[in-house]
Amino acid sequence: MAALNGWWDDYFWGALVIFQVFFCSLGFMIIFGLLGAIAKLSANKLAHKVANAYTVAFRGTPEILVILLMYFGSAIFLTAVAQLFNPEVKFVDIPPFWAGTIAISLIVGSYATETFRGAFLGVNPGSIEAAKALGMSDIQTFVYIRIPEMWRIALPPFGNHMLSLIKDTALISIIGLNETMFVAKQAITVTGKPFTMYIVVGAIYLGFSTVVTLSVMGLEKFGERTTAGVK
């Protein structure tokens, strides 16, 4: 334990990075998932095909590879663009934070696409007809009826997607994101204590996952109040 002296603040900042990645990627993941689901359910053939290609590609490739391709791919592109203006430039990249966040949002978003699609299909068509018959517009029906009814169906698998986001954050260390995994690697080279350093990382990730799991359980309870009542 003495080996940890001097590393606590690094772990703390690393944990904060996990937290930031989680919130940003959660937002993007929901957006990608909703867009994907809407495209898959739409009558538009092109939208349908694009969404299918998206889910096939991102569910069928190793996550770490997506992160690497996203980071180096965008770096090659940006470097080439920058060299057009200034041939002296050697290397331009987007910050690993954003490359990684977008990469894991796209990966988990492809799973969320299927979750949301199924959940939209699970909404009682009778509710939709009732809303139409009352004169509600398509957008009003979407916001006030479809979304609130579908999230209750989507919640349990959605909880798993949130856990995936948290765990995938560790992978982003490979492109140099200074989260806890990255901290541990540095600490190991200095102290030569891999087990101790990695167990701290494990404890931090487990802490985050537990908070997420408990939140999802709370939300499920909240959603169930409409279905679990006594007669």
In contact, 83 and 89? CB cutoff 8 Å:
yes
Q: Does residue 136 belong to the site contacting another protein (CB under 8 A)?
A: yes
Residue type, 184: A
Residues 154-193 that bind another protein (CB under 8 A): none
Q: Does residue 220 belong to the site contacting another protein (CB under 8 A)?
A: no
**Segment lying near another protein (by CB under 8 A), choices 10-18, 108-116, 119-127, 163-171:** 119-127
Cα gap 3→190, rounded to integer Å: 10
Q: Does residue 121 belong to the site contacting another protein (CB under 8 A)?
A: no
Q: Does residue 227 belong to the site contacting another protein (CB under 8 A)?
A: yes
Q: Does residue 222 belong to the site contacting another protein (CB under 8 A)?
A: no
DSSP letters spanning 161-229: HHHHHHHHHGGGGGGT--SHHHHHHHHHHHH--HHHHHHHHHHHHHHHHHHHHHHHHHHHHHHHTTTS-
Q: Does residue 149 belong to the site contacting another protein (CB under 8 A)?
A: yes
Among 8, 56, 144, 194, binds another protein (CB under 8 A): 144
Q: Does residue 133 belong to the site contacting another protein (CB under 8 A)?
A: yes
Torsion sign over Cα 8, 23, 97, 67: positive
Q: Does residue 225 belong to the site contacting another protein (CB under 8 A)?
A: yes
Applying CB under 8 A, which residues contact another protein? Answer: 124, 126-127, 129-137, 140, 144-145, 148-149, 152, 223, 225-227, 229-231
